[in-house]
């Protein structure tokens, strides 16, 4: 088993900064934004993005009013199989999501099933004006017609490889590594 690092801590910080700028640019400001991280590692990523956006927009917006979490456990299509999953928190900023631009934030985009579930979950919470998707890594191999609007790094992988994202808030360090796969 080999493991190689594809993004180190400075790479991740740079990627987040770039995505934060892209989001503000595409939405022409931060007034109407809501960033919803998908547990677990989407949540710290969304928080970091919100901090950056708040900083870039010069303190007009409080980061805490921009960011929330969106648990998709109850919307998965594989709940019967596998092991039991405890649901994670869903926290929506007090202003809600109706008429706003929601950016879903996740660590890795792979099959697209998580995002499909997130769109379903979002529809039960309200009616956003727009929904966009930001991911740290897009590794390809989609099962569904879903694409990301903001990508930290496109990472060609084989489907047997494993992409591991570590974030300081959860794992104690920032890194993206690839392991496994047929050699």
Partner 1 sequence: MKHLLDTASLDREDAVAILDIAEEMALVSQREIKKLPVLRGRTVVNLFFEDSTRTRLSFEAAAKRLSADVLNFSAKGSSVSKGESLQDTIQTISAMGADALVVRHSGAGTAHRLAHTGWIDVPVVNAGDGTHEHPTQALLDAFTLRRALNGFPASGPVEEGPRGRGLDGAKVAIVGDVLHSRVARSNVHLLARLGADVHLIAPPTLLPWGAETWPVTIHYDLDEALAAEDFQAVMMLRVQHERMHESFFPNAREYARLWGLSAARLAVLPAETFIMHPGPMNRGFEISAAAADSSRALVLDQVENGVSVRMAVLYRLLTGQEETND
Residue 85 binds partner 1, judged by CB under 8 A: yes
From residue 166, alpha-carbon distances to 10, 42, 86, 173, 178 in Å are: 13, 11, 21, 6, 11
Among 64, 11, 74, CA closest to 34: 64
Tokens of 101: 């631009």
Tokens of 92: 């929506």
Q: In whole angstroms, how close is the CB of 163 to partner 1 at the nearest point?
A: 24
In the bound state with partner 1, the residue whose beta carbon lies nearer, of 6 and 125, is 125
Residue 110 binds partner 1, judged by CB under 8 A: no
Q: In whole angstroms, how close is the CB of 79 to partner 1 at the nearest point?
A: 4
Contact pick of 29, 89, 99, 140 for partner 1 (by CB under 8 A): 89
Using CB under 8 A, which of the segments 32-40, 45-53, 87-95, 145-153 binds partner 1?
A: 87-95
Residue 86 binds partner 1, judged by CB under 8 A: yes
Segments in the chain forming alpha helices (H): 9-27, 42-56, 63-66, 113-125, 168-171
Contact pick of 3, 14, 29, 79 for partner 1 (by CB under 8 A): 79
| CA atoms of 110 and 88, how far apart (whole Å) | 20
H or E segment to which residue 178 belongs: strand 175-180
Contact pick of 50, 71, 102, 155 for partner 1 (by CB under 8 A): 71
* Footprint on this chain of partner 1 (rule: CB under 8 A): 71, 73-75, 79-87, 89-91, 120, 123-126
């Amino acid at each position: 088993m080999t493991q190689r690092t594809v993004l180190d801590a400075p790479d991740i910080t740079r990627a987040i900064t770039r995505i934060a700028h892209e989001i503000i640019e595409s939405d022409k400001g931060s007034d109407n934004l809501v960033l919803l991280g998908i547990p677990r590692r989407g949540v710290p990523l969304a928080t970091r993005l919100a901090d950056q956006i708040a900083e870039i927009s010069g303190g007009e917006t409080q980061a805490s009013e921009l960011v929330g979490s969106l648990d998709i456990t109850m919307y998965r299509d594989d709940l019967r199989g596998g092991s039991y999953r405890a649901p994670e928190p869903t926290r929506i900023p007090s202003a809600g999501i109706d008429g706003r631009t929601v950016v879903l934030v996740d660590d890795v985009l792979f099959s697209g099933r998580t995002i499909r579930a997130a769109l379903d979950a979002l529809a039960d919470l309200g009616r956003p004006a727009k929904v966009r998707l930001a991911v740290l890594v897009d590794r390809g191999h989609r099962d569904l017609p879903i694409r990301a609007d903001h990508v930290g790094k496109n990472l060609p992988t084989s489907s047997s490889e494993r992409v591991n994202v570590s974030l300081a808030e959860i794992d104690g360090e920032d890194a993206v590594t690839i392991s496994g796969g047929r050699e």
